[in-house]
Amino acid sequence: MLLPSSLDSEYILIDIPSNKYGRDPYVEGVVECGKPGKYMHLTPELLLKEDAEKAYGPLAHMFIHEWGHLRWGLFDEYKRTTNNLNPYFYYDMNTEQYEPVLCSKNIKGQALKNCDKNKPCDVTNTRIPLPDECRFCPVGDQTTPVSLMGHSYIASIKHFCENDNDTAEEYRHIITVPSDQNINCHHKSTWEVIREHADFQGRNYAVAESTDTTPIFNIAYSGPKVRALVLDVSGSMEITIASSGVCTLKCSLVYSYNSSERSYFGGRIIEIFYTFSIPICVSR
């Protein structure tokens, strides 16, 4: 686990799947454009399983996507945060139909329910909201080079979108699409935000091909596991097992569970095992 003792920001957490995102990688704490997130969450399975790229595409692309969130405060370009609306599409007043949230129009794909090719979505019927299960699903051979903050799992995508006047069309950022990146970064392209970061101020962007990019991992924090015994002694767990005169003996039962939980407390990993069924008896 790559984890600083201060637990402040910009670290990589390698841990069991999360309750919210499961095994998918994610970055927690990105709230402002250009500002770093708190941490990146990866699972051991993602890093060690040989077939991980079947689900997530090239892992280098996946890592750069998450690093864009963590280090440079970038937002996704394949969706928008909405209330009660499909986050992967928006209504385009020019085409008068639902269009996918994209950075580049050069990505080829279809609107399908859960990416099932036998279940197309009708993007022309704008009288009703698009069903939640509709997704923009890239199909066929792709040649577009952008964007890593969009569909980074496509093998041909190796660059961020740009918005300079001399930018080639295939790299150009679309400012009118209501993606999370456009909404949170005032329609700036991802590369514009990156260039404004301290990492690139007054420096040459180019990296020599001979540069050694082998990663160096520093274990910033490592500590012993802490095991906690959890006993439920609430009133709902009480049963009467004996009674004599004015004295009543009651017990609180702690039931067994075949599971465990891990959480953080005071910067240490706490592993809680539910493996007990013990009567805790008191005289009342």
* pLDDT per position as a tens digit, 245-272: 444 445 544 444 344 444 444 444 444 4
The percent helix, strand, coil of the chain (3-state, each to 5) is: 15, 30, 55
Please report which confidence band the pLDDT of residue 281 belongs to, taking 50, 70 and 90 as the band edges: low
pLDDT at 238: 59
The closest of 62, 29, 68 to 43, measured between CA atoms, is 62
Query: Is residue 29 within 8 Å of residue 41, measured between CB atoms?
Result: no
Residue 1 has pLDDT above 70, yes or no: no
The reported pLDDT for the residue numbered 203 is: 67
Q: How far apart are the first and last CA of the chain?
A: 48
In tens, the pLDDT along 125-176 reads 999 999 999 999 998 889 999 999 999 999 999 999 998 888 998 999 999 9
Q: Distances in Å between the alpha carbon of 253 and those of 47, 128, 133, 165, 231? A: 41, 53, 44, 71, 8
Of 39-48, 54-63, 144-153, 217-226, which gets the smallest average pLDDT? 217-226
Bond preceding residue 18 cis, omega within 30 of 0: no
**What is the per-residue pLDDT across 204-220, written as a single tens digit (0 to 9) for each?**
667 778 888 787 777 66
More confident call, 202 vs 204 = 202
Q: Please choose, from the candidates 193, 137, 142, 146, the residue with its C-alpha nearest in 3D space to the C-alpha of residue 167.
A: 146
- d(C-alpha 64, C-alpha 123), whole Å: 32
Mean pLDDT value across the chain: 81
What percentage of the chain reaches a pLDDT higher than 70?
72
Select which of 10, 28, 53, 66 is catalytic.
66
Q: Quote the tokens at residue 45.
A: 């399975």
225 pLDDT more than 70: no
Give the Cα separation of 244 and 101 in Å (integer): 72
Report CA-CA distances (Å) from 42 to 12, 20, 275, 276. 7, 13, 28, 31
Residue 237 is predicted with a pLDDT of: 58
Please write the tens of the pLDDT for every residue from 66-106: 999 999 999 999 999 887 889 999 999 999 999 999 998 88
Q: Is the pLDDT of residue 23 over 60?
A: yes
**What pLDDT shows up at residue 260?**
45
The alpha carbon of residue 32 and the mean position of all alpha carbons in its chain are separated, in whole angstroms, by 16
Cis peptide before 277 (omega within 30 of 0): no
Q: How many residues does the structure list for the chain?
A: 284
Residue 66 falls in the annotated catalytic set: yes
Judge contact between 163 and 147, C-beta under 8 A.
no
The domain ranges of the chain are 11-86+141-200, 226-283
